[in-house]
Structure 1
Amino acid sequence: MAIKIYGDPGSGSRRRVTAAAAAMGINIEIVNIDLFKGESHTPEFLELNPHGLSPVMVDGDFVLYESAAINLYLAEKAGSDLAGRTTEERFQVLQWMFWSGEQWRIYATLTFDEVLGKKFMGQSADETIIKLAADKIRAAAAVLDAHLAKHDYIVGDRLTLADFDIAGPFSQNERTKIPLNDFPNLVAWQQRLLTDVASWAATKREVDERIDGALAAAGVKL
């Protein structure tokens, strides 16, 4: 029985899981959840994740949410070195995955909610929140850009789960205008992923088609 991954195809968080699973050669069954129709807040879905967020993994009787945790679980199950080859490398991967959650994705998500989420609801964005998030992203991006000046990838100069975790905000940056393009090493690293990691390029197309289609259907212009 294939591992099931529930989530919306426009979700950068689902993208992190599906792209990593493909890179690890793991067979998964994708179950689409339409966030725009509220399908993540049905009683059935809330049984899987009471926060009403995706993705969620179901492996037999085992249910797991949070993309980083799912990717680590998949890597251990597959015996993949994307979680690190040595003890030191594994902890470096974890360091950057934790860093991504604390310093990085939270502010990209906040910007998405303000810039795009509120447009779908016919509300105005709070510019104070957008500026706060942009300032936080710039501070984190400066650290990451300096790191990537010396490395082709986040850990060990090869692809790891840390790359998928940190690359997530690039799923929406052209729409939300978070200031990632101001950092040349960050941009070069993201282009390297799109060129060298087939699953990252494929899931970019998936996200773009989903979000651009939803914007068009709703008559929302950026």
Structure 2
Amino acid sequence: MTIKIYGDPGSGSRRRVTSAAKIMGIDIERVNVDLFKGESHTPEFLKLNPHGLTPVLQDGDIVIWEASAINLYLAEKMNSDLLGRTQAERFEVLQWMFWSGEQWRIFGTLTFDERIGKRFMGQPEDESIVQLAFAKIRAGAAVLDAHLAGRKFIVGDHLTLADIDIAAPFSQSARSKIPLSEFPNLVAWQQRLLDTVPAWAETKREVDERIDTALAGAGIAL
């Protein structure tokens, strides 16, 4: 049975899952959920995830939401070294994934919601929220920039789920203008992922096409 992944093509979180699946050679069925039309809040979808958020994995009777949990499930299923090649690497990967969820990605998402999402609802952004998010992003980026000095990847000498999780804010950074360009090691690492991980570059094109089309359709110019 093919694994189903529910999500919107413009979602950076779905991007994390579809990229990881592609890298691991997993055959998935993409079930599009249009977030702009509220399809994640239909009664049918809420049976999959009561939070009304994507992505969601369905593998037979198994249903998992939250992109990081989905990627951990897929990596375990495939015994993939995206989860680390040694026990020490595995725990370091988990450390960075948890850090990313609590200290990093949330602020990129918050900025997108304020600067882009509110435009679709005809609401002004709250500058105080944006500045709070920027302060948190800069604090996290400083840690990452120092960590990446002399490194090609977040953990060890190869791509892991930590890279995929932490790279997620770059999915919308050009639109939300989060201050990542201030950190050269971080910028170089992200470009290296685009240059050397075909799945990451491919999913960037998917996100760009989806969001840019939605913006144009709504008459929103950034």
Report TM bin, short chain.
Answer: over 0.9
Alignment of 1:121-200 (within 5 A): 121-200=121-200
Structure 1: unaligned runs, 5 residues or longer: none
CA distance in 1 between partners of 2:168 and 2:45 (Å):
23
- How do 1:26-65 residues align onto structure 2 when only pairs under 5 Å count? 26-65=26-65
| Residue 98 (structure 2) pairs with residue 107 (structure 1) | no
Instruction: Give CA deviations for 1:184-214 in whole Å, capped at 9, x if unaligned.
Output: 0000000000000000000000000000000
Which residue of structure 1 aligns with residue 201 of structure 2? 201
Cα deviation for residue 54 of structure 1 reads: 0.2
Q: Which digits, 9 at most, give the CA deviation of each residue in 1:13-72, with x for residues without a partner? A: 000000011001111110000000000000000000011000000000100000000000
The one-letter amino acid of 1:143's match is V
User: Partner residue of 2:10?
Assistant: 10
Let me know the Cα RMSD of the aligned residues. 0.5
What is the deviation of 1:150? Answer: 2.5
* TM-score normalised per structure 1: 0.99
Letter of the structure 1 residue corresponding to residue 202 of structure 2: A
SS of match in other structure, 1:6: strand
Residue number in structure 1 paired with 2:92: 92
**TM-score, normalised on structure 2?**
0.99
Aligned residue type for 2:61: D
Deviation at 1:221, TM superposition (A): 1.1
SS in 2 for 1:48: coil
Give the Å deviation of 1:151.
Answer: 1.1
The aligned amino acid for 1:192 is R
Local SS of the residue matching 1:31: strand
1:118-154: CA deviation from partner (whole Å, max 9, x where unpaired): 0000000000000000000000000000001131100
1:77 paired with 2:77, answer yes
Unaligned stretches of 5+ residues in structure 2: none
The percent of aligned pairs where both chains have the same amino acid is 75
- Paired residues, what number? 222
Give the distance between the partners of 2:66 and 2:198, measured in 1 at CA: 23
1:78 CA displacement: 0.8
1:85: Cα distance to partner? 1.1
